[in-house]
Chain A
Amino acid sequence: MKKSIGDNMIPKEWGFDRGLALAKKAGYDGIELWLGATPWFQLETSDADVRELRRKVDDAGLLVSNVSNSLDWDRPLSSRDPRVREQAMRHLTRQIETAQILGTDAILVVAGIVTEETPYQEVYPRTVEALKKLAETAARARVKIGCENCCSEQRFLMSPREFKLFLDDVASPWVGLHLDVGNIHDTGFPEQWIEIHGPRITRVHVKDVMRHRGRCGNESVYTNLFLGDNNWKAIREAFGKVGYDGWIIAEMEARYRFAQDQQFHDTAVAMDRFISGRL
């Protein structure tokens, strides 16, 4: 397994270069780039500037693990408004293009968001249809689309079995699961998702979750590795069983209030323990 961390964890005032240096120093193998989340990587960022980002990553001795985006929540593929859906297709197509430039073969998509206003029975077929189209672009680029399981936030595809049927309906080897082991909350167990999805897992986000907390106002349900309720030993064993040996990517919601660089180091050490299986 290889370790990565999101560039959205880099304090904005630090800038990309200093963030890369910190990631390297902390022992990461790669960096996850978030389209739309940082000043250095926006939809308007030109191909030349994306190539420059890649050069900086290379020079830092890192790889780009994958490209994620922060735009799906406001411009979902499942919107009722066809104009919003077009915007979503545009940013996801750009995400695929930039993944190619950055030398990685995976993107993260939050596919389908159920709300009171946009009901499940509409979101499902709309999302399947959109992903079928996007899969053609992904296949040409040889970039895999990983649909993230943001179960509680999306209110969509809440169980691993349901997610499997969804991927079956999309029916493309270029569309799989970007598994976030912290996002399952009290609706299931990540180790079971791993066993069910196995080779369809494109990338893995890691964070821990405090199931008892739920979403209480501004209090985050997420926490640092090993502080929450995930059964990390079972998760590690499940990855071993299905033969997942790819990227694991730190995605911490709560940030250190002081000594922010320390969170990079502490998380990297915890990820090493997880990878080693000494739990």
Chain B
Amino acid sequence: MAAAPCLTCVLPESREGFQRALLGRDTPGVLVLPGAAGWDASIASRVRNGQLVILESAGGFTGTRAFEEQRAGLRADFELALEPPVRLWSETGRPPYLDLAWPQRAQVRDFSFAVPVRGGETIGRLGALPVAALQRVGAGALLVLGSPIGPALGSGDPQAYAWLSAVLTGRGCSGTPARGRPRRDTASRGRG
């Protein structure tokens, strides 16, 4: 997985989940930013130059400043509107799955908080909330995930793997995803 330029990952297990899922895959032209807090101006140029950037927002697990930075960056560079994180669990309600509709349908369990994303092409919803969006710019695209899927990848969720695999295959990435790899296999585990 390509390294993020300046963004901070505040969900280490999301990073580990993506690392595990991408192990053994060749992913040219794809940048994954798992559990991302804040914003980096180079994202816009990467997308314009043809990269697919997958930004998994950690809005519910970070401070206001980092969230506002991310929100401002997405608005200015991609015309996407992030809304404040929504606490999905309450005394009375339990959330539905995150329903991803593109490039193939997948249901992934929620991760307590979600950041609604408006604008672009909505590709994922939690109930009525749009929480995943694709914004195509030039030859590239930005895929914003307002509900983290990295932890589900880390625990071997087959639909999460299939969805990620379909996204990468659509970008011409090759290789076999490391689906269902046991958690105790720490070959790719890394922090920082």
Contacts and interface: CB of A to CB of B under 8 A. Distances in A.
Nearest to B112: A80
B184 A169 contact: yes
A125 to B, nearest CB: 4
Contacts of A116: 89, 94
Given A122-B155, A125-B154, A117 B11 contact: no
Contacts of A83: 61
A126 interface: yes
B21 to A, nearest CB: 15
Interface residues of A, number: 15
Contact of A80 (B94, B111, B157): B111
A33 to B, nearest CB: 33
Contacts of B157: 121
Interface in A98-155: 116-119, 121-122, 124-126, 128
Contacts of B29: none
A126 B13 contact: yes
A146 to B, nearest CB: 23
Given A125-B183, A126-B13, A82 B61 contact: yes
B183 A119 contact: no
Most chain A beta carbons < 10 A, residue from B11, B13, B94, B154 = B13
Chain B interface size, as a band, is 10 to 19
A81 B61 contact: yes
B7 interface: no
A125 B10 contact: no
Interface in B81-116: 89, 94, 109, 111-112
A122 B151 contact: yes
Given A121-B155, A125-B154, A125-B183, A82 B12 contact: yes
User: Chain A interface mostly helix, strand, loop or mixed?
Assistant: helix
Contact of B112 (A117, A121, A128, A169): A117
Nearest to B182: A125
Nearest to A84: B61
A118 B113 CA distance: 12
A81 B112 CA distance: 9
A128 B189 CA distance: 14
Contacts of A119: 109
Nearest to B62: A83
B109 A82 contact: no
A121 B12 CA distance: 17
A128 B182 CA distance: 13
B87 to A, nearest CB: 10
Nearest to B183: A125
B155 A125 contact: yes
A125 B151 CA distance: 11
A250 B111 CA distance: 39
Nearest to B157: A121
A118 B89 CA distance: 11
A125 B156 CA distance: 11
A70 to B, nearest CB: 23
A12 B93 CA distance: 38
A86 to B, nearest CB: 11
Interface in B1-15: 10-13
A81 B154 CA distance: 15
7 contacts: A80-B112, A82-B10, A82-B11, A82-B12, A82-B13, A117-B94, A128-B183
Interface of A: 80-83, 116-119, 121-122, 124-126, 128, 169
